[in-house]
């Protein structure tokens, strides 16, 4: 995405904040899922996958059990597929025991319009039939365009449409941060 | 890569690697309960086959259907459309019907190129084999198979075939598979050798990016993959070689010859095989032979090509990239 | 009779002169000729040549009037500066009898744009098996002197030998389409680097060269003259050069397209470049130009081969072979031979008028531009530059490989026995 140049981007969460937030979400999952016995974490590429793995580690610390974790690529389920050149596909990796009858927690970095999650639900539909689906996000920046909400939110971050939210993670970007910036220009049709 | 896929020579190294990587993702769909993706929903693809080829057609058809495209099959028996105007007429008919892409197989070299460049039709054209010219998706599925076997399924992602020694054996002269493979394997960094009796190597081969040898036995120990090309029995009558027996003695792959290949080396064949002529049954059925895998890989590779050409608003592989969208 | 004064024309590219035409003949050539009651054509330094003679034209009538007729073909000839064309025998029916050749001859005379000299088939139905009635065709009103199975090669050595011998009786000549048939089965283009890549059936140079070698030796053996159609390879040039050095009575022609175009163009798979013999390589093109300059190749002949649009608007393998050439020949020769310094305009007149008339025994054509000679003349604006636009062709067919290509020179006037068939670029 076209983020404003990094000089202007302001960190709203730093590394320790992110770690704390993930720990809290892990606890919430255990609490709400009654021990998280049938939980499967599916991260949405790219950064949702890293967050899912981190959450899985934390869940393991709490419950002492391995939590199945995988990834769910939503590229071909996007509703704006025909508005861009074809995108390279990311990995879909469903844990070996599958998702049928399990509680799937989708994990993504930022919740915005809700369209990505809508696509993820469609993709999920083609891979199996979970008992229930929940959503965990690091940041909810508002401006929903679909009736979708998150079950676990790291930080609610009220933004204007002129602002950009960028999540950086060590695995991909070399550092952990959530950056709030301002768009240089607002391209026509940007959602 | 342009909006059409006409020749393997048109692909850059990065285009080809992207197609192979995408094909790996497509392959994973085959393991799911629902082997279907919505990428080409609402798109109509016509499989325009002027030459019989059930294998290639059903491979494309499976790929198209797995991507949720609407499929129209047009099969014209060779003789009834020997007159060229029917290609134009058919193209204009398809254009009028609003077809979004054409997969064409034709006995005339250059027919797909002509279709793509004549202005008869606006849709992207994918070459499914033209005469003795090109068969780019075959080359891609072959490269996919090689990368999986010689580099690794996961280890191969993002990588090419740098330094792999690939030997193509058989009727190079009449083989679109050979032409496509030489082009693509060279692009992917492989060292290619074609082996054939001199009668079955084209005049002008010296400009191809490969070595030429007339001696199979000396090439086998230096091969990571040996691909056998189909040799039609009719060629014998045109004096390309004396007898079937002599051909298989000099250029056929039997167990004894296979033993000369390195331990890890694989045997490939685009099919359909002429057992007993270019390959013995023993070799064809051995676990070093990838023929059945190649068929499966054909569907994954063609899904990748179709997705990358038709999946977006502009069919251009070179533009494909992971997009970090705001659209969360 | 009407008089025409062509004022200030560079005769054969020389100093400007005036040429006075009186009726069907040239009355006077000089400077400062009084116009008197003559119509004056201001040449303004254009080039004046004897009317061009094409030893190799396909007029398609009878049988394929959808691609060309004697009328449209001779109008195209006049547009291109020709006053005489030799019409090939591969019509339907084949021009293998006195009846067919007389019909074609008569049609040419009636239309009056260009003399049409029919070529007779060597063998019945061009089938290469049985000699056609060569003597009867010669004795007909058409007075056939050139015989050819063009489009097909007289590949049977015995038939070729007999034909070469037989036509000696009346001073005829056999024009051979040199193409060994077995070596060219399924051939689609020149065999070489490009064909290997494109996967199109190769047409080896040796298929042409082996027949030429055989035929010059046959001609030597039986003491006949032989003419070789459309030489296309450097090897063919070497053989003809060798034959001439031995004193063998051989003449040879090259087409304009083989002087300019190469097989690289086939990469477009556009059948407009599909022709027999096929476009060859740069090396061949250079050898052909050199041979035309040094006289090894005697003449330029167009091999004007009209085809209807649908026969070219298709895939390569299905397309017909051939290109139209009458209306672009002189421009291509100007570009490839004159502007490269290989030939002067006198040389062009020799290769495109004098020699072809001699080989075909076309009386009254290919004559000097001097008093008392038939007024068969062409005026060329050599300074003109423009892109070829097939829409303006007089030919019924448009299968030119030069569409949109910039070529030099333009024929503005053609006179056939004193009558303007083309004036100011417009057909009469």
- Triad C112, C117, C122: Cα angle to 5°: 155
pTM of the model: 0.91
Residue A189 confidence class, pLDDT cut points 50, 70, 90: very low
Q: Is B41 part of any domain? A: yes
Write the residue in A77, A86, A109 that is nearest to B308 by C-beta: A86
First CA to last CA distance, chain C: 18
Asked if C243 and C380 sit in the same domain, the reply is no
Asked if B204 and B70 sit in the same domain, the reply is no
State yes or no: pLDDT of A2 exceeds 50: no
Residue B320 confidence class, pLDDT cut points 50, 70, 90: very low
Residue A13 confidence class, pLDDT cut points 50, 70, 90: very high
Chains B and C lie in contact, requiring 3 or more CB pairs less than 8 Å apart: yes
Chain A nearest-CA distance from B2, in A, is 12
Which residue do the tokens 């997009």 mark? B323
Asked if B167 and B128 sit in the same domain, the reply is no
What mean pLDDT do residues B208-224 have? 97
Spans of all domains in chain A: 14-80+89-159
Q: Which of A16-25, A114-123, B159-168, B318-327 has the lowest mean pLDDT?
A: B318-327
Asked if C132 and C233 sit in the same domain, the reply is yes
Which residue do the tokens 């799911």 mark? B32
How far lies C80's CA from each of B69, C6, C47, C113, C395, in Å?
A: 55, 19, 14, 11, 10
Contacts of residue A103, defined as CB under 8 A and 6 or more positions apart, other chains included, come to: A33, A36, A38, A39, A40, A130, A131, A132, A133, A134
Centre a 10 Å sphere on the Cβ of residue B51 and count the other Cβ atoms it contains.
Answer: 21
Asked if B96 and B187 sit in the same domain, the reply is no
What mean pLDDT do residues A162-187 have? 89
pLDDT at B313: 78
pLDDT at A85: 87
* CATH of residue B117: 3.40.50.1370
Q: How many angstroms separate the CA atoms of B222 and B165, rounded?
A: 7
C18, C263, C303, C381: the catalytic one is: C303
Asked if C129 and C171 sit in the same domain, the reply is yes
Long-range contacts (CB closer than 8 Å, 24 or more residues apart) made by B152-156: B153/B24, B156/B20, B156/B24
Which residue do the tokens 């590394």 mark? A15
* Domain span including residue C212: 55-360
Q: How many angstroms separate the CA atoms of C262 and C401, rounded?
A: 11
Parallel/antiparallel/unpaired status of strands B44-49 and B101-106: parallel
One-letter-per-residue 3-state SS of C105-152: HHHHHHHCCCEEEECECCEHHHCCCCECCHHHHHHCCCCCCEECCCCC
Q: Is B123 part of any domain? A: yes
Please choose, from the candidates B253, B250, B265, B251, the residue with its C-alpha nearest in 3D space to the C-alpha of residue B166. Answer: B265
Write the residue in A86, A109, A110 that is nearest to B307 by C-beta: A86
pLDDT at B1: 47
Residue B46 confidence class, pLDDT cut points 50, 70, 90: very high
Residue B110 confidence class, pLDDT cut points 50, 70, 90: very high
Asked if C76 and C24 sit in the same domain, the reply is no
How does pLDDT run across C294-329, given as a tens digit for each residue? 999 999 999 999 999 999 999 999 999 999 999 999
Asked if C377 and C341 sit in the same domain, the reply is no
State yes or no: pLDDT of B292 exceeds 60: yes
Cβ contact, residue pair C199, B131, below 8 Å: yes
Please choose, from the candidates A92, A105, A101, A103, the residue with its C-alpha nearest in 3D space to the C-alpha of residue A153. Answer: A105
B positions 99-118 inside 8 Å of C (CB): 106-111, 113-114, 117-118
Q: Is C350 part of any domain? A: yes
Write the residue in C195, C199, C315 that is nearest to B87 by C-beta: C315
How does pLDDT run across B69-102, given as a tens digit for each residue? 999 998 876 444 555 557 888 888 888 999 999 9
Which residue do the tokens 């050069």 mark? C241
Which residue do the tokens 């499967």 mark? A40
Residue B325 confidence class, pLDDT cut points 50, 70, 90: very low
Asked if B15 and B112 sit in the same domain, the reply is yes
- The radius of gyration of chain B from alpha carbons, rounded to an integer in Å, stands at 20
Q: What is the percent of chain A where pLDDT is above 70? A: 93
Nearest CA in chain C to B183: C197
Q: How many angstroms separate the CA atoms of B250 and B159, rounded?
A: 35
State yes or no: pLDDT of A114 exceeds 50: yes
* CATH of residue C41: 2.30.40.10
Parallel/antiparallel/unpaired status of strands A39-43 and A103-111: parallel
Q: How many angstroms separate the CA atoms of B168 and B143, rounded?
A: 13
Asked if B206 and B255 sit in the same domain, the reply is yes
Asked if B239 and B306 sit in the same domain, the reply is no
Asked whether the beta carbons of C32 and C15 are under 8 A apart, the reply is: no
How does pLDDT run across A16-48, given as a tens digit for each residue? 999 999 999 999 999 998 887 899 999 999 999
Asked if C263 and C411 sit in the same domain, the reply is no
Q: How many angstroms separate the CA atoms of C242 and C225, rounded?
A: 15
Cβ contact, residue pair C193, B85, below 8 Å: no
* Domain span including residue B231: 136-290
State yes or no: pLDDT of B265 exceeds 60: yes
Asked if B12 and B129 sit in the same domain, the reply is yes
- Total domains in chain C come to 2
Contacts of residue C310, defined as CB under 8 A and 6 or more positions apart, other chains included, come to: B84, B85
Between residues A123 and A87, the one the model is more confident about = A123
Q: How many angstroms separate the CA atoms of B109 and B134, rounded?
A: 8
Asked if C87 and C31 sit in the same domain, the reply is no
C contacts of B208 (beta carbons < 8 Å):
196-197
Q: Is B2 part of any domain? A: no
Q: What is the percent of chain C where pLDDT is above 70? A: 100
A contacts of B22 (beta carbons < 8 Å):
88-89
Nearest CA in chain C to B87: C314
Cβ contact, residue pair A1, B315, below 8 Å: no
Catalytic residue status for C350:
no
B contacts of C272 (beta carbons < 8 Å):
none
Please choose, from the candidates C231, C247, C226, the residue with its C-alpha nearest in 3D space to the C-alpha of residue C164. Answer: C226
CATH code of the domain occupying A14-80+89-159: 3.40.50.2020
The torsion angle over the Cα atoms of residues C75, C79, C83 and C86, rounded to 10 degrees, is: -60
Q: What is the percent of chain B where pLDDT is above 90? A: 75
Q: How many angstroms separate the CA atoms of A100 and C422, rounded?
A: 87
Asked if B283 and B301 sit in the same domain, the reply is no
Asked if C190 and C323 sit in the same domain, the reply is yes
A contacts of B154 (beta carbons < 8 Å):
none
Residue A155 confidence class, pLDDT cut points 50, 70, 90: very high
State yes or no: pLDDT of B316 exceeds 50: no
State yes or no: pLDDT of A6 exceeds 70: no
Q: How many angstroms separate the CA atoms of B228 and B216, rounded?
A: 11
Asked whether the beta carbons of B8 and B139 are under 8 A apart, the reply is: yes
Average pLDDT score over chain C: 97
Please choose, from the candidates B84, B62, B61, B63, the residue with its C-alpha nearest in 3D space to the C-alpha of residue B73. Answer: B61
pLDDT at B326: 46
Q: Is C396 part of any domain? A: no
Chain B interface, Cβ < 8 Å to A: 18, 21-22, 25-26, 28, 32-34, 36-39, 67, 307-317, 319-328
Q: How many angstroms separate the CA atoms of A41 and B232, rounded?
A: 55
Q: How many angstroms separate the CA atoms of C111 and C89, rounded?
A: 20
Asked whether the beta carbons of B240 and B217 are under 8 A apart, the reply is: no
State yes or no: pLDDT of B33 exceeds 90: no
Cα C349 to the center of its chain, rounded Å: 13
Q: In the numeric block, which tokens belong to residue C300?
A: 């330029």
Asked if C212 and C352 sit in the same domain, the reply is yes
Asked if C146 and C25 sit in the same domain, the reply is no
- Hey, which of A93-97, B239-243, B300-304 has the most confident mean pLDDT? B300-304
Mutate to test the interface with B, among A3, A51, A73, A85 (most CBs of B within 10 A): A85
Please check if B56 is assigned to a binding site. yes
Which phi and psi angles does A165 have, rounded to 5°?
Answer: -120, 125
What mean pLDDT do residues B169-195 have? 97
Q: Is C358 helix (H, G, I), strand (E, B) or coil?
A: helix
Mutate to test the interface with A, among B41, B156, B327 (most CBs of A within 10 A): B327
- Total domains in chain B come to 2
Q: Is B1 part of any domain? A: no
Contacts of residue C385, defined as CB under 8 A and 6 or more positions apart, other chains included, come to: C406, C407, C408
Question: Which residues of C are annotated binding-site positions?
Answer: 56, 58-60, 90, 150, 177, 230, 276, 303, 307
How does pLDDT run across B116-170, given as a tens digit for each residue? 998 899 999 999 999 999 999 999 999 999 999 999 999 999 999 999 999 999 9
State yes or no: pLDDT of B48 exceeds 50: yes
Write the residue in C192, C269, C313 that is nearest to B110 by C-beta: C269
Asked if B279 and B299 sit in the same domain, the reply is no
Question: Chains with 3 or more CB pairs closer than 8 angstroms to A?
Answer: B
Asked if C68 and C182 sit in the same domain, the reply is yes
Q: In the numeric block, which tokens belong to residue B132?
A: 């003795």
Q: Determine the number of helices (DSSP H) and then strands (DSSP E) in chain B.
A: 11, 9
Contacts of residue B218, defined as CB under 8 A and 6 or more positions apart, other chains included, come to: none
Burial (CB count within 10 angstroms: exposed 0-12, middle 13-18, buried 19+), residue A167: buried
Chain B nearest-CA distance from A94, in A, is 9
Chain C interface, Cβ < 8 Å to B: 188, 191-200, 202, 204, 268-270, 310, 313-319
Q: Is C390 part of any domain? A: no
What mean pLDDT do residues B18-37 have? 91
Q: Is B125 part of any domain? A: yes
Write the residue in B26, B39, B322 that is nearest to A81 by C-beta: B39
Which phi and psi angles does C420 have, rounded to 5°?
Answer: -75, 115
Asked if B76 and B180 sit in the same domain, the reply is no
pLDDT at B85: 53
pLDDT at B79: 43
Q: Which helix (H) or strand (E) holds B104?
A: strand B101-106
Q: Is C393 part of any domain? A: no
Which residue do the tokens 């064949």 mark? B269
The one-digit pLDDT tens for each residue of chain C (428 residues) are: 589 999 999 999 999 999 999 999 999 999 999 999 999 999 999 999 999 999 999 999 999 999 999 999 999 999 999 999 999 999 999 999 999 999 999 999 999 999 999 999 999 999 999 999 999 999 999 999 999 999 999 999 999 999 999 999 999 999 999 999 999 999 999 999 999 999 999 999 999 999 999 999 999 999 999 999 999 999 999 999 999 999 999 999 999 999 999 999 999 999 999 999 999 999 999 999 999 999 999 999 999 999 999 999 999 999 999 999 999 999 999 999 999 999 999 999 999 999 999 999 999 999 999 999 999 999 999 999 999 999 999 999 999 999 999 999 999 999 999 999 999 999 99
* CATH of residue C237: 3.20.20.140
pLDDT at A7: 53
B&C contacts, CB < 8 Å: 88
Q: Is B324 part of any domain? A: no
How does pLDDT run across C227-254, given as a tens digit for each residue? 999 999 999 999 999 999 999 999 999 9
């Amino acid at each position: 995405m076209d983020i404003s140049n990094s000089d202007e981007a302001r960190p709203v969460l730093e590394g320790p904040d992110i770690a704390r937030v993930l720990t809290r979400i892990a606890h919430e999952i255990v609490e709400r899922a009654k021990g998280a016995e049938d939980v499967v974490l599916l991260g949405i590429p790219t950064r949702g996958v890293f967050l899912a793995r981190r959450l899985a580690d934390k869940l393991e610390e709490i419950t002492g059990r391995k939590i199945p974790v995988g990834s769910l690529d939503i590229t071909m389920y996007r509703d704006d597929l025909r508005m861009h050149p074809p995108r390279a596909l990311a990995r879909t990796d469903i844990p070996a025991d599958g998702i049928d009858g399990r509680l799937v927690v989708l994990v993504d970095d930022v919740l915005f319009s809700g369209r990505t999650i809508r696509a993820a639900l469609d993709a999920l539909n083609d891979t199996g039939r979970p008992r229930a689906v929940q959503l965990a996000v690091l940041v909810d920046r508002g401006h929903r365009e679909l009736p979708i909400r998150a079950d676990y939110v790291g930080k609610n971050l009220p933004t204007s449409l002129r602002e950009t939210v960028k999540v950086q993670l060590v695995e991909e970007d070399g550092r952990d941060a959530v950056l709030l910036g301002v768009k240089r220009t607002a391209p026509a049709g940007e959602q | 890569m342009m909006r059409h896929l006409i020749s393997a020579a048109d692909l850059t190294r990065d285009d080809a690697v992207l197609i192979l990587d995408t094909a790996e993702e497509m392959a994973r769909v085959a393991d799911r309960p629902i082997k279907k993706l919505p990428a080409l929903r609402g798109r109509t693809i016509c499989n325009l086959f002027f030459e019989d080829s059930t294998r290639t057609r059903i491979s494309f058809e499976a790929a198209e259907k797995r991507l949720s495209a609407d499929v129209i099959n047009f099969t014209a028996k060779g003789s009834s459309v020997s007159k060229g105007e029917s290609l134009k007429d058919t193209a204009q008919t398809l254009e009028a019907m609003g077809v979004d892409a054409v997969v064409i197989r034709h006995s005339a070299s250059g027919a797909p190129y002509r279709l793509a460049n004549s202005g008869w039709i606006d849709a992207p054209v994918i070459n499914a084999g033209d005469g003795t010219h090109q068969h780019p998706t075959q080359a891609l599925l072959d490269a996919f198979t090689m990368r999986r076997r010689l580099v690794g399924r996961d280890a191969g992602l993002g990588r090419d075939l740098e330094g792999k020694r690939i030997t193509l054996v058989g009727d190079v002269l009449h083989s679109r598979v050979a032409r496509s493979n030489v082009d693509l394997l060279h692009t992917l960094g492989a060292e290619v050798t074609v082996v054939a009796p001199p009668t079955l190597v084209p005049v002008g081969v010296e400009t191809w990016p490969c070595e030429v040898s007339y001696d199979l036995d000396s090439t086998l120990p230096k091969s990571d993959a040996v691909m056998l090309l189909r040799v039609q029995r009719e060629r014998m009558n045109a004096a390309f070689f004396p007898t079937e027996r002599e051909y298989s003695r000099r250029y056929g792959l039997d167990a004894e010859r296979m033993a000369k290949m390195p331990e890890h080396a694989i045997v490939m064949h685009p099919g359909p095989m002429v057992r007993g002529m270019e390959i013995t049954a023993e070799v064809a059925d051995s676990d070093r032979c990838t023929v059945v895998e190649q068929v499966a890989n054909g569907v994954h590779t063609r899904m990748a090509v179709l997705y990358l050409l038709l999946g977006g608003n502009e069919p251009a592989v070179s533009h494909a990239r992971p997009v970090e969208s705001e659209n969360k | 009779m009407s008089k025409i004064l062509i004022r200030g024309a560079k005769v054969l590219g020389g100093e400007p002169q005036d040429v006075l035409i009186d009726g069907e003949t040239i009355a006077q050539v000089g400077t400062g000729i009084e116009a008197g009651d003559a119509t004056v054509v201001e040449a303004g330094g254009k080039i004046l040549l004897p009317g061009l003679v094409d030893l190799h034209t396909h007029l398609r009538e009878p049988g394929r009037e959808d691609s060309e007729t004697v009328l449209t073909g001779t109008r195209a000839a006049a547009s291109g500066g020709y006053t005489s064309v030799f019409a090939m025998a591969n019509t339907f029916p084949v021009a293998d009898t006195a009846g067919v050749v007389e019909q074609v001859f008569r049609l040419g005379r009636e239309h009056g744009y260009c003399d049409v000299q029919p070529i007779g088939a060597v063998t019945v139905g061009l089938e290469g098996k049985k000699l056609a009635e060569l003597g009867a065709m010669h004795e007909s009103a058409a007075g056939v002197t050139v015989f050819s199975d063009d489009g097909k090669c007289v590949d049977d050595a015995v038939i070729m030998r007999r034909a070469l011998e037989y036509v000696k009786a009346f001073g005829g000549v056999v024009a051979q389409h040199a193409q060994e048939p077995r070596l060219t089965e399924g051939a689609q283009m020149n065999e070489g680097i490009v064909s290997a890549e494109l996967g199109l059936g190769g047409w080896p140079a040796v298929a042409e060269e082996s027949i030429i070698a055989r035929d010059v030796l046959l001609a030597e053996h039986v003491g006949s003259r032989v003419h070789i159609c459309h030489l296309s390879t450097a090897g063919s040039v070497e053989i003809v050069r060798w034959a001439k050095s031995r004193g063998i009575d051989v003449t040879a022609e090259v087409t304009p397209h083989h002087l300019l175009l190469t097989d690289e163009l086939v990469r477009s798979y556009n059948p407009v470049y599909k022709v027999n013999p096929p476009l060859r390589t740069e090396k061949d093109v250079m050898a052909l130009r050199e041979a035309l300059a040094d006289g090894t190749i005697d003449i330029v002949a167009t091999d004007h081969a009209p085809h209807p649009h649908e026969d070219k608007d298709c895939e390569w393998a299905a397309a017909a072979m051939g290109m139209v050439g009458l209306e672009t020949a002189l421009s291509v020769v100007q570009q490839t031979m004159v502007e490269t310094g290989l030939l002067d305009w006198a040389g062009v007149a020799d290769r495109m008028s004098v020699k072809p008339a001699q080989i075909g025994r076309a009386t009254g054509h290919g004559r000097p531009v001097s008093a008392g000679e038939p007024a068969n003349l062409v005026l060329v604006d050599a300074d003109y530059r423009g892109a070829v636009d097939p829409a303006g062709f007089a030919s019924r067919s448009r299968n030119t490989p030069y569409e949109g290509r910039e070529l030099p020179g333009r024929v503005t006037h053609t006179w056939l026995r004193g009558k303007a068939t083309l004036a100011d670029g417009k057909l009469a």
